[in-house]
Amino acid sequence: MEPPESGSVIDGFVLGERIHAGSMATIYRLTGSEGPLPLVMKIPRLGPGERAVNVIGFEVCRTVLGAMAQSHHHPTLVAYGDVETTPYLVMEHIEGVRLDDWLARAPVAPEEVARLGSAIALALHDLHRQDVVHLDLKPTNVLFRQSGEAVLIDFGLAHHGHFPDLLAEELRIPLGNWVYMAPEQALGVRCDPRSDIYALGGILYELATGRLPFGHPSTVGELRRRLYRDPVPPRALVPATPEWLQEIVLRCLEVDARERYASAPEVALALSSPGQVQLTERGSRRRRASLPTLARRRIRAARFEPAPCPPPSKQPHVIRVVAVAIAPQEGNEALRRALRDAAREAVAADPACRIACITVVPPAAALSGVGEENSATGRHIRRLIELRGWAKPLDLPDERVTYHVLESDKPAAALVDYVAMNDVAHLLIGAPGAGTLPWRFAGVGPQVVGSVPCTVTVVRPRAEG
């Protein structure tokens, strides 16, 4: 069946320029639409000679997009036609920079890799917390809005935990883009959000090195080689790659999903705070596994059992982040203790949670200090040490606690932004009037409580005597 010409009218929608003609679908810009969003129509290639999976992909796309909450991270579905008579999807047209354009310039500077990767990770999290796994994450399916937010498109191969998976069959040829496909997906697993984290690892690798971690496999056998063959470490290709970035990339690309980051926001966090990345052997690795190791892995790979998919959850947080807003050192000691007690209770209630210790300082430009002591870096480091000192008695393992010194003139706004960006589940903050609060945090509590998108506990020290 030939795709319709520009100028055709389908269900009242006027087809404009044809902007994409692929093997699965044709996409047109729509003209004359009065709505608030620029729109496109996607028409699947159906009919004799086309693949059955095209129909199913169309249905999957309709179901998944239709079920997701409206968000900046994926196009909004506006209308759809009947699959049997006039199949089409009308969606928001995303105007943005394509990830492809960045890749054309790879290797990209580590800071840029981190910025782009972190935006993609946050977009993935938006899907994952709704029990959606994309399963076809590749450069052509990622766009960036002006704001820097990543938008994921093309949900034709996605899995939504609330709906029957029409593509969940033992297919001889694994569905999806083989370049970025996770090992478990190559074996037919379609319910693990960590498969998207693997694909993100492939994208980060490509951004950082300009090379593909596993080339272009053309047979299922070549595709499965990633079950035992590790990629060349990025630092071996681009020596300027920092260890933290290599650590993140290679952890995303772990064969066993359990060895990867457990959730997308953890990847975003690692990418946005390189100083906090726990370096292991992965970060400093200089070459691929030796031949004897490879031989051993190859034998093991034959018996590889994919990790069980994490249970689809009603709770959106894979690992709950509990943020604690801590005033600088000159603050009230009783309040600092009370905050620590509250953090201890949070850890007791959810032993898997992560504690993010946050403080806010004035921007560097506002500082007039001279010399090492008062330099911006000096102060920053001092605050970090204070935060570590505050958290020390909690006695948490390193990966369960992170430290963040935010620079802002508006502490309340900075905290609210932090909570929103990092998907914090619970914020602990000192009560106003609880003793002599330092000036920077006075009055912050009520402003934060009013506007922060998470649960807030306002902590007050017990009255003395």
Q: Where does this chain bind another protein (CB under 8 A)?
A: 52-53, 55-56, 59, 62-63, 66-67, 83-84, 161-169
Nearer to another protein, 159 or 235 (CB): 159
Closest contact distance (angstroms) between CB of 67 and another protein is: 8
Closest contact distance (angstroms) between CB of 34 and another protein is: 26
Nearer to another protein, 84 or 464 (CB): 84
Nearer to another protein, 164 or 371 (CB): 164
Closest contact distance (angstroms) between CB of 176 and another protein is: 15
Closest contact distance (angstroms) between CB of 320 and another protein is: 22
Closest contact distance (angstroms) between CB of 439 and another protein is: 50
List beta partners, residue 43: 26
Nearer to another protein, 2 or 84 (CB): 84
Nearer to another protein, 14 or 67 (CB): 67
Closest contact distance (angstroms) between CB of 23 and another protein is: 16
Distance CA 102, CA 21 (A): 22
Nearer to another protein, 168 or 366 (CB): 168
The two structure tokens encoding residue 236: 């071996």
Closest contact distance (angstroms) between CB of 74 and another protein is: 18
What burial letters (b/e) apply to 393-414, b meaning 16+ CB within 10 Å? ebebeeeebbbbbbbbeebbbb
Nearer to another protein, 303 or 314 (CB): 314
Nearer to another protein, 62 or 404 (CB): 62
Nearer to another protein, 121 or 127 (CB): 127
Closest contact distance (angstroms) between CB of 236 and another protein is: 42
Closest contact distance (angstroms) between CB of 93 and another protein is: 24
Nearer to another protein, 290 or 315 (CB): 315
User: First vs last Cα of the chain: how many Å apart?
Assistant: 84
CA distances from 250 to 37, 58, 226 (A): 39, 34, 13
Closest contact distance (angstroms) between CB of 306 and another protein is: 18
What would the 3-class secondary structure string for the chain be?
CCCCCCCCEECCEEEEEEEEECCCEEEEEEECCCCCCCEEEEEECCCCCCCHHHHHHHHHHHHHHHHCCCCCCCCCEEEECCCCCCCCEEEECCCCEEHHHHHCCCCCCHHHHHHHHHHHHHHHHHHHCCCEECCCCCHHHEEECCCCCEEECCCCCCEECCCCCCCCCCCCCCCCCCCCCCHHHHCCCCCCCHHHHHHHHHHHHHHHHCCCCCCCCCCHHHHHHHHCCCCCCHHHHCCCCCHHHHHHHHHHCCCCHHHCCCCHHHHHHHHHCHHHCCCCHHHHCCCCCCHHHHHHHHHHHHCCCCCCCCCCCCCCCCCCEEEEECCCCCCCHHHHHHHHHHHHHHHHHCCCCEEEEEEEECCHHHCCCCHHHHCHHHHHHHHHHHHHHHHHHHCCCHHHEEEEEEECCCHHHHHHHHHHHCCCCEEEEECCCCCCCCCCCCCHHHHHHHHCCCEEEEECCCCCC
Nearest to 193 by CA among 239, 139, 147, 124: 124
Nearer to another protein, 165 or 259 (CB): 165
Closest contact distance (angstroms) between CB of 182 and another protein is: 21
